[in-house]
Chain A
C-alpha cells in the first residue's frame, strides 16, 4: 500500500481523517472469525468431508427436498402476507392518528423479544381445535393447527416486524411535496399511491420481505409445536436436521444444514445489494 495516492486506482480504503480504523476493524474481524466464521466453517468442513456424490445424494433425497420445499414455500407465503399487511400497518402507523397508536407501534417488536418456544405454545393454544380461534374456525372447515397453514401462522408472527420496521422509516421520509405535485398534475389518490409512492417503497419492502423470508426458512422453536410434523406434509427442514441427528446421522444433518446455510447467505447478499443499490438511487438529504 505504498504510494497509492498518485497512481494506483485500487486501494483498500479511502483516506479518512478519523482514527481507529485498524482497531475497530480488528475487533470486528476477530470477533466475527471467532464466533461466526470458525463455527460455520466447521460445518462446511464436515459437509465437504462427505464427498460430492454423497452430498448430492443426501440433498436430493425426496424427503429432504420435500422438507426444503415446505420450509421455503411456507416462509414465502408468510413473507408475502407480511409484506401486504406489514406495509398497510406501517402506513397506518406513519400517517394516521388513533388511540393506542404508541402501544401498537411498540407491540410490533414483540416477536423479536418473545422467545420462539413461548410463541409456538401460545399460537398452538389459540389455534388448536379447542383453542380460542380454533373453536371459531374449525366448524367453518378451516384447520390451522397441525397443518401447513399452522406453519404459515407461526412464520407470520415471527416475520412481521422485519417488514414493518424496514418500510416504516422510509415512509416517514417521503416528502409530501411529491404527493402534492402528483395531485396537482391531476393524479387521483389511488394513482399517486400506486404509481408514485409504492415504487419508492419497493426496495425497502423487498428487503423486509427477504428478511422475513430468510428468518422464516430457518425458524424452528415456534413451528414444531403447531406444525403437525408429518413427513412430506408439514415437516420443515430444521426439524429434518433434528431427526437426522436423532438417528446419529451427522452426515445427512450437516448436508441439509450446509444447503440451508448457502441459501441464507445468498439471500442476505441479495438483500444487501438491494440496499446498497437503493442507497445510491434514493438519496435522502437530511
Chain B
C-alpha cells in the first residue's frame, strides 16, 4: 500500500552509502554505468519537475502575481477567514476519530489471525478508491429529504447535510483508511513478540499498549495522522456535494478557492490555494524532519 512508505522508506536514509561490496570488480556488476545512472536520474528528476514541482510553482506564482500585500489582504477577508476556521474545525473532529479507529483496526488486523481478514482490509481500503463524488452522494442519499431518515431528522430540527455534521461525515469517510493503512503493515512487520514479553512479565493489556506498542508505532502513527490531516483539510469533491455553499458558513478552504476563482478573484483564489499548498508542504517537511532527526530510532523500532 502506498503508505508502506512510513518507516521502511526512511530506514536507510542514504542506502547508497551502505556497506560497500567486498570485491571491487563487483561494484560495477551491482551498479549501473555512469551514463545509465545519469540518464535515469535526469529522467526521474525531469518527471518530478514536470508533474510535481511546476504545478506547485504555478500556485505560488499566481498567488503573488500582484505582490505580497495583495496576498496577505486576500487571506484577511472575513469569509476566507471563516473558511479557514471551518476547515480547522472539521479536521479537528475528523482526524482524532480516524486516529482511534486506525489504531483499533491495526491492532485487530496486525496482531490477530482471524477469518475474513483480507475482506475486512479491503473494506477499510474502499474509501480510497471510491470517487469523491460518490462519497458525497452517499450521504445525500442517506440524509437527504428523500431518504428514510431525512424527514425524521428534519422534523426534529437536526441538520446534517449542508452543515458541519455533514462536512465532518464526508471528511471522515474520505480519510477513513489513512491511519489504519499506515499502521497495519508496520505492526505486521514488527510482530507481537514485544507485547507477548511484556504480558508474560505481568503488564496489563493497556500498559502493554501504552508502554510497548505505542512507542514502537509512534512514527507510523504520526505520518498517518499528518497525511490524514492534510487530506481532511484538502478534500474537495465529497465536501462540495454536502456543503450547500453558504458563504461564511459552510464553505471550507478548498470550496472557498473555487468560489474566489469563480469571482474572477484569481489572486485571492490562489492565495487560499497557496495556503493549502503550504500546509501540504509543512506536512511533508515535518515528516522529513522527523525522519532525519529520529532515523536511527525509527530504524531500530523497525528491526524488532
A residues adjacent to B (C-beta < 8 A): 10-14, 16-21, 23-25, 27-28, 31-32, 35-40, 42-43, 46, 85, 88-89, 91-98, 102, 104-119, 121-123, 125-126, 131-133, 153, 156-157, 160-162, 165-166, 168-169, 172-173, 176, 179-180, 182-184, 189, 192, 207-208, 211, 214-215, 217-221, 237-238, 241-242, 245, 250, 253-254, 257, 260-261, 264-265, 267-269, 271-273, 275-276, 286
**B44 adjacent to chain A (CB < 8 Å):** yes
Of B75-83, B136-144, B151-159, B243-251, the one with at least 4 CB within 8 A of chain A: B136-144
Q: Which 5 A-B pairs have the closest CB atoms?
A: A218-B131, A183-B29, A115-B234, A113-B280, A169-B8
B189 contact set on A, CB distance < 8 A: 286
Find out whether the CB atom of B47 lies under 8 angstroms from the CB atom of A85. yes
- Interface membership of B71, Cβ < 8 A: no
Q: Given A35-B173, A133-B54, A189-B28, list of 11 further CB < 8 A pairs?
A: A10-B115, A13-B114, A24-B105, A25-B112, A31-B97, A31-B104, A105-B288, A106-B287, A118-B254, A125-B58, A183-B29
A-B contact pairs, 26 of them (CB 8 A): A17-B196, A20-B107, A35-B173, A36-B124, A36-B176, A39-B138, A39-B139, A91-B40, A97-B17, A114-B280, A160-B51, A165-B4, A169-B5, A173-B8, A179-B30, A183-B26, A184-B26, A189-B28, A189-B36, A207-B1, A218-B131, A238-B133, A261-B130, A264-B131, A268-B129, A286-B302
Residues of chain A lying within 8 A (CB to CB) of residue B109? 28
Are A211 and B108 in touch, CB under 8 angstroms? no
Q: Is B128 an interface residue (CB 8 A)?
A: yes
> Looking at the complex, which one of B31, B58, B280, B303 makes contact with A95 (CB distance below 8 Å)?
B31
Query: Do A180 and B30 touch (CB < 8 A)?
Result: yes
* Minimal beta-carbon separation of B100 from chain A (angstroms): 7
Chain B neighbourhood of A92, CB < 8 A: 40-41, 44-45
The verdict on A28 contacting B108 (CB below 8 Å), with A92-B44, A272-B118 known, is: yes
Closest chain B CB from A79 CB (angstroms): 12
**Contact with A115, one of B112, B200, B276, B287 (Cβ below 8 angstroms):** B276
- Distance, CA A189 to CA B142, complexed state (A): 58
Q: A161-B2, A180-B29 are in contact. Are A36 and B123 (CB under 8 A)?
A: yes
Q: Which residues of A contact B103 (CB under 8 A)?
A: 24
Within 8 A of A (CB), among B218-262: 227, 230-231, 233-237, 253-254, 257-258, 261
Q: How many A-B residue pairs have CB under 8 A?
A: 356
Which A residue's beta carbon lies closest to that of B20? A176
Contact for B276 among A106, A109, A118, A257, CB less than 8 A: A118
- In B175-216, which residues have CB < 8 Å from any A CB? 176, 189, 192, 195-196, 199-200, 205, 208-209
Contact check, B129 vs A214: say whether CB atoms are below 8 A apart. Answer: yes
Q: Are B125 and A272 in contact (CB under 8 A)?
A: yes
Closest to A275 in B: B1
Interface size on B, residues (CB 8 A): 123
User: From residue 9 to 36 of chain B, which have CB atoms closer than 8 A to chain A?
Assistant: 9, 11-12, 14-18, 21, 23, 26, 28-33, 36
Q: Is the CB of B237 within 8 A of A116?
A: yes
Report yes or no: B141 in contact with A85, Cβ–Cβ below 8 A: no
Provide the bound-state CA to CA distance between A8 and B138, in Å.
42
Residue of B nearest to A171 (CB): B15
Contacts of B281-304 to chain A: CB distance below 8 A: 281, 283-285, 287-288, 292, 302-304
User: What residues of chain A lie closer than 8 Å to B288, measured between beta carbons?
Assistant: 102, 105-106
With CB as the reference atom, state the residue of chain A lying closest to B277: A114
- Asked if B127 lies at the interface with its beta carbon under 8 angstroms from chain A, I say yes
Any chain A CB within 8 A of the CB of B67?
no
CA–CA, A17 and B50, complex, Å: 52
Chain A hits for B53, CB < 8 A: 107
